[in-house]
Structure 1
């Protein structure tokens, strides 16, 4: 286990294997924030290796030429470095008393991935560390290591929500507030979106998801009333809430929580019901109405676990956001949920993401 992994496990030990009756989310959040401050100083004092050092130590695994084997099926590989590195959320079981210390981030339907840009080549890894796509950018070989936390949509748009490394600057131990501002200011300053893709063969684009400060009621209302949330037929999947003081923590954390839009009034207050765009309230699941939001969360997790079990038995290879190891006794975050198939009956084909992967591979081979 690396030093970085050790720090992560210490964060996880604060709340894993505990029931909500033992530690309510607010209590666990406070414990994590206190431990985080202590560990941040420990990291500085010990010069502990961070993600950037691990990337550099990994060598050139992700630097294979984009033109190599151009007419063959693109190489797929697994990286232990990027496995289980995505920061995942819990359900927001209770509205935080310090809502002013949180950011609200709308999330598109898509595949959660870490996008690693290095020497002009971009490689996207899913949460298991499997490469799901690779392509050349126009950033040039002088582009230093950058790692973005993204959602990749069916339109091949990468929506960046967070930043782990930028130009060989490790930001994992930085607070969320700093990372969010740094992501947006630096990408604009360095025109990375414009340089991300220019070739006709590479149809990928990089976009930055806006974040809304919950300290400002007007910003919350602006987010909830906006429809459509994203352009080009990209659907809103749900809402992530980030605590401003949270480091980037590998795995699930109560400092990042998830709600579907229709859950907001029940969790954060009925006064927000009139603020939410009516489109987000037209498709409330019947089970949600019958059970209420707390019981529905448990029902949703159970359904997810059952579906995952079926897929595991049938040995289906999938890029699905919900297809990861889920322990029934633990709280599942958005990344473990098949929100599309649960809410939108137009996605009844459980293999649609595998088919999309095949289509992406075909497009790459044509390029």
Structure 2
């Protein structure tokens, strides 16, 4: 039982991640905006792409600042990535009782109110310093200082304490990747009015998320980018907004045919018998289902077999789907569910639009049961 098992062979459905494309996307967005610094958002396991591998790939091209949502995500990076000269920003709300863990892992929490800071300093030992990021709620409505007076009070408290050090000040935009320009402009105005009123130097500012970097880079201070989705090659404004630059696809979803048979006229497949053959038809079963993140609502979605478009038929089950075939194919034939095969391609954006959602939800929904294969 000590023999190493090739897990991919035991259930051949997997995700391929092109790390070189992640690197090139990072370089492309920096060149497009003229930014000097990049904070790479790698929360939710790098949007499902694999946080450890993504951090290592971006570190190799000079990125030294990363952002996650939780302490657990950050701790994993500290444990699995051997470099000691990169910063980790915690974007989500953190319980102040975990200040000791944040200090131990050298994390920089986003802080949105004065009381959190006042409580935190009580837990910081003499001689220790907690790096903090000042979160400003200009209109997202989730967390952060909500007025100039609050921003001023927090900044003054940080400046007055030898246990706190400011690492950044930021906001997050609610409409940067859609057509509500007025609301976006209001958020930008709030940010500038409040940080300038508090006399916070612009070297600390980072307010350009992916949407801002793509569609508003001429409207805001762009020295520092804080982006996630563009690193992974997809359009955060899909399907409403068109991309102003060309990014490279990073993720492909593949499977292999596990079973092939021919349906007779009147025969059905899967739960509910929702699909019935109107003529003799070859079909194949693939070992992937909604437990892997291939959503139940993807019934009818196209797939690619030998460069040919086929479709998912019948209901998607927990562990398997059935697809149509134009002819009999051998067991173990590769099938592309997202990605390119020959002249045909299924993008993450197309997959998400079919599912009536956004690309972010698709990539983060793919479960750990799907191995990530890195190129």
- TM above 0.5: no
More helix as a share of residues: 1
* TM superposition score normalised by structure 1: 0.26
Q: Which has the larger Rg?
A: 2
Q: Which has the higher strand share?
A: 2
TM-score when normalising by structure 2: 0.26
